[in-house]
A and B are shown apart, each in its own frame.
Chain A
């Protein structure tokens, strides 16, 4: 799954993609670069994980895609978040918060 410096936790890739896209429009490589940026280089998502995830999320209706021109005038497939994607982001953020709280609590106990 993750092939960055740190292994991605199962299920967190969707969360990262939804967060990275935000209200913007990105092509595949753009999403990858954006994730690198917002995690300060901790996670680098390779195309082998990224593209399957993008297609899966599009099928689920969380992302919508369209063909457009990239910054250097190349035709590329762009992704943006849908209403359902936004809701999903909320759900996954919640879940993530629960998990981190739980792990933190577990680590705090002596």
Chain B
């Protein structure tokens, strides 16, 4: 039969069911009458003829059923019948139905929500042309490289089609959107073409081939364009960057989403590299660029990277002055670069936790179903007696479960879309492309496949049991549910409870680790006092932006600004440095000390990070002075003094007093005397250990980009606005941002905290579910064993003996679950050790706490029904039968 005619027939059968049934009935009846008529014609009495005709027919109903069974679309009709039956079954036991629906809704909802976040942040292809061919190009050790280096790399590789360079820029911006600091991106002329960023309006930059050209052109993102007033015409619209007028020649497409990409500095404006006079695209020494390369069709990243490494080897040989021996190019897929490895692992770990929670919910639900299938044993036995094949029963159970799961999943999708909306619109955490997370087709497909898997999983175990069903025994037991459940079922139920305990153990341990790692991160000794610290990032160049900078003027401006701030009420101390703790700092110029003067000849990756600080810096940020002295007003640059931190001192003069030793700094291009040793500080981030630092007086070669620190008497964020206003009132400098140190730290751990809250919530829910599962199983078993317990009591068993018996029987399984959980947790801790910062230290206590917590809850869950069983009155339970 062709598929088309089959489907047509099936549809007709479904739509015209009543008419077809009526026709079938008259057809079969006509046949019976004709058979009878034949027999009457042969001379048989009418009554006898009719009886014989029906016998020959083999029963009118049976014939009709045979036709129905062969009819097209029978399966669909049967499916519909099963669905309705399943719904009736659910209505009959509302407690079970609500419990099951909630468990599924939560499991599916949470997992789907997490999936759609992971999908938006990690899995979805970037909104650029052929994004799988894009790779981020960087370098070790500092990520950055110079423009000529990049050009040489491109020429030396046959796998790379083109490389675009970019670097961040924070100019003062003035436009119809207002005045402020812009996150701009300086890009090479081929940037848009290479990356394949779609434009909504206008055109690409002028391709002059000379990267020094600026042409005063700017391309803005769609959201900045909207802030400027929007519209569909570019005609003559301009913005001012650092007091220079730029014409807007293009607007990026809304989906390009560059302003969400933290790795690119969340830019809202793109300009050619030549527009920032501080950048030199022709100097091999201006190592301030990063790159995005487009690989040739079919070329592998590995091949490209090998080409680059080979080229770099030749370059290092040709220009040893410009490259340190450890300098090598790096590549990673642009998608990974943008989402960030830490984000990736956090999100995937959270998704795994979701999956684990889902498994626990499934185990819990299977337990409920097992208990229910015991209660329905006689129903299934009766069906089997009436000729239902095992396959048919399996199909019915699958349909029933699928109905339950489908309803629960529909609820779960609602839960998911609400939570995705909340997460992506409330800015608790900052993830690239998070605001694009929504319940779209992939998420729905994910939810549907998860629920299909659940439905099958839920059916398999009870079905496997019903296959071994002893028919007669089940029938004999009739409707009374007081016989004990079969051994196999009890074992299955206990195994499920053990599995739940094991999984819950892992989740509880994971949340313990997450919590302890956040606590350790936030409360570790940082080397400075963050609590009352406010800082303002400023640019001292102000309006006068030439190629040359007057050091005396810069210093004067900084002093004036600091004096103005010192006068504010609530400010206790003010200092400045060219970078902040937890802010990162890489400027590895040549360095050597008097004990290894030969090191001065080569650049080294181990050279310390150099900070330029004002005299009161160490007191202001609360960095400890170990020995010697701090800088003072007399260190004006003529005497060349330096302060080292403990790490640098240990490295250069192990076990000795560094004060009085001499060091050479490429920053000064001179030798300086060490006058003090200070404690180590986390300069990069909370989770990166302190490195060697060298401190020089700001007066000894001032930097124009300075961060001003304020130690305040009370909550530093209260002064935020005042400081901003005070600094903005000065026209000779620009303020990038003002933030308090506690805010910065909160921001730094926001993602970890988010993951921590989620996993902790999961751990709690898992603990609850496992406890509930343990309780439900024993409570159910006790209800089945009432008679047995009654007999034991009647025969003189002690009540405490009953309790001990029940608890002992269950605790073997609980112990098995706990052991499996312990092993799983240890394994998980090993796999995710990068995720749990310094959690190795807390490993033992966390495992012990998780173990005792779960053991306590599980035993409580067992003891309550156990005690109830021991209080049974044998005279009542035995007579009930």
- Chain A interface residues (CB < 8 Å from chain B): 27-29, 46-49, 51-53, 55-56, 59-61, 70, 72, 74-77
Majority-rule SS of A interface residues: helix
Chain B residues with CB below 8 A from A48, complex form: 57-58, 62-63, 66
Q: Which residue of A lies closest to B71 (CB)?
A: A55
Interchain CA distance A72-B30 in the complex, whole Å: 11
Contact A60 B5, CB 8 Å, known A48-B62, A52-B69: yes
Interchain CA distance A52-B24 in the complex, whole Å: 10
8 example contacts (A-B, Cβ-Cβ < 8 A) are as follows A47-B31, A47-B58, A48-B63, A51-B27, A55-B70, A56-B1, A60-B1, A60-B2
Contact A51 B28 (CB under 8 A): yes
The yes or no answer to B842 lying at the interface (CB within 8 A) is no
Chain A residues with CB below 8 A from B30, complex form: 27-28, 70, 74-77
Contact A27 B37, CB 8 Å, known A48-B58, A55-B71: no
| Cβ distance A65 to chain B, nearest Cβ, rounded Å | 9
- Contact residues of B between 50 and 74, Cβ < 8 Å to A: 56-58, 62-63, 66-67, 69-72
From A29, A46, A60, A61, contact of B58 by CB (8 A): A46
Please give 6 more A-B residue pairs, beta carbons under 8 A apart, in addition to A47-B31, A75-B26, A77-B23: A29-B34, A47-B58, A55-B70, A56-B71, A61-B5, A76-B30
Contact A29 B31, CB 8 Å, known A48-B63, A51-B67, A77-B23: yes
Contact B31 A59 (CB under 8 A): no
From B2, B23, B27, contact of A28 by CB (8 A): B27
| Cβ distance B543 to chain A, nearest Cβ, rounded Å | 88
Chain A residues with CB below 8 A from B70, complex form: 52-53, 55-56
Interchain CA distance A47-B71 in the complex, whole Å: 15
Chain A residues with CB below 8 A from B71, complex form: 55-56, 59
Majority-rule SS of B interface residues: helix
Chain B residues with CB below 8 A from A72, complex form: 34, 37
Contact A47 B28 (CB under 8 A): yes
Interchain CA distance A70-B30 in the complex, whole Å: 10
Q: Which residue of A lies closest to B35 (CB)?
A: A29
Contact A47 B57 (CB under 8 A): yes
Chain B residues with CB below 8 A from A27, complex form: 30-31, 34
Chain A residues with CB below 8 A from B28, complex form: 47, 51
Top 10 A-B pairs, shortest CB-CB distance = A59-B9, A52-B70, A60-B1, A77-B27, A76-B30, A48-B58, A52-B66, A52-B67, A61-B5, A29-B34
| Cβ distance A105 to chain B, nearest Cβ, rounded Å | 31
Chain A residues with CB below 8 A from B56, complex form: 46-47
The yes or no answer to B33 lying at the interface (CB within 8 A) is yes
Interchain CA distance A28-B64 in the complex, whole Å: 13
| Cβ distance B836 to chain A, nearest Cβ, rounded Å | 64
Chain A residues with CB below 8 A from B23, complex form: 77
Contact B63 A59 (CB under 8 A): no
Contact A76 B6, CB 8 Å, known A51-B67, A56-B70: no
Chain A residues with CB below 8 A from B31, complex form: 27-29, 47, 51, 76
Interchain CA distance A66-B220 in the complex, whole Å: 75
Contact B67 A55 (CB under 8 A): yes
Chain A residues with CB below 8 A from B58, complex form: 46-48
| Cβ distance A9 to chain B, nearest Cβ, rounded Å | 18
Chain A residues with CB below 8 A from B57, complex form: 46-48
From B9, B34, B62, B69, contact of A74 by CB (8 A): B34
| Cβ distance B17 to chain A, nearest Cβ, rounded Å | 14
- Contact residues of B between 65 and 97, Cβ < 8 Å to A: 66-67, 69-72
| Cβ distance A10 to chain B, nearest Cβ, rounded Å | 14
Interchain CA distance A36-B71 in the complex, whole Å: 25
Chain B residues with CB below 8 A from A52, complex form: 66-67, 69-70
From B1, B24, B62, B66, contact of A59 by CB (8 A): B1
Chain A residues with CB below 8 A from B5, complex form: 59-61
Chain B residues with CB below 8 A from A70, complex form: 30, 34
- Contact residues of B between 1 and 33, Cβ < 8 Å to A: 1-2, 5-6, 9, 13, 23-24, 26-28, 30-31, 33
Chain A residues with CB below 8 A from B27, complex form: 28, 51, 76-77
Q: Which residue of A lies closest to B72 (CB)?
A: A59
Chain B residues with CB below 8 A from A49, complex form: 66
From B1, B33, B35, B66, contact of A51 by CB (8 A): B66
Interchain CA distance A29-B53 in the complex, whole Å: 12
Q: Which residue of A lies closest to B20 (CB)?
A: A55
Chain A residues with CB below 8 A from B2, complex form: 60-61
Interchain CA distance A1-B31 in the complex, whole Å: 19
Interchain CA distance A88-B31 in the complex, whole Å: 26
Contact B34 A47 (CB under 8 A): no
Interchain CA distance A74-B26 in the complex, whole Å: 11
Q: Which residue of B lies closest to A77 (CB)?
A: B27
| Cβ distance B623 to chain A, nearest Cβ, rounded Å | 88
Interchain CA distance A48-B1 in the complex, whole Å: 21
Chain A residues with CB below 8 A from B9, complex form: 59-60
| Cβ distance A15 to chain B, nearest Cβ, rounded Å | 15
From A28, A53, A59, contact of B6 by CB (8 A): A59
| Cβ distance A57 to chain B, nearest Cβ, rounded Å | 9
Q: Which residue of B lies closest to A62 (CB)?
A: B1
| Cβ distance B44 to chain A, nearest Cβ, rounded Å | 16
Which of A28, A51, A70, A76 is most buried by chain B, counting CB atoms within 10 A of its CB?
Answer: A51
| Cβ distance B68 to chain A, nearest Cβ, rounded Å | 9
| Cβ distance B72 to chain A, nearest Cβ, rounded Å | 5
Interchain CA distance A17-B229 in the complex, whole Å: 80
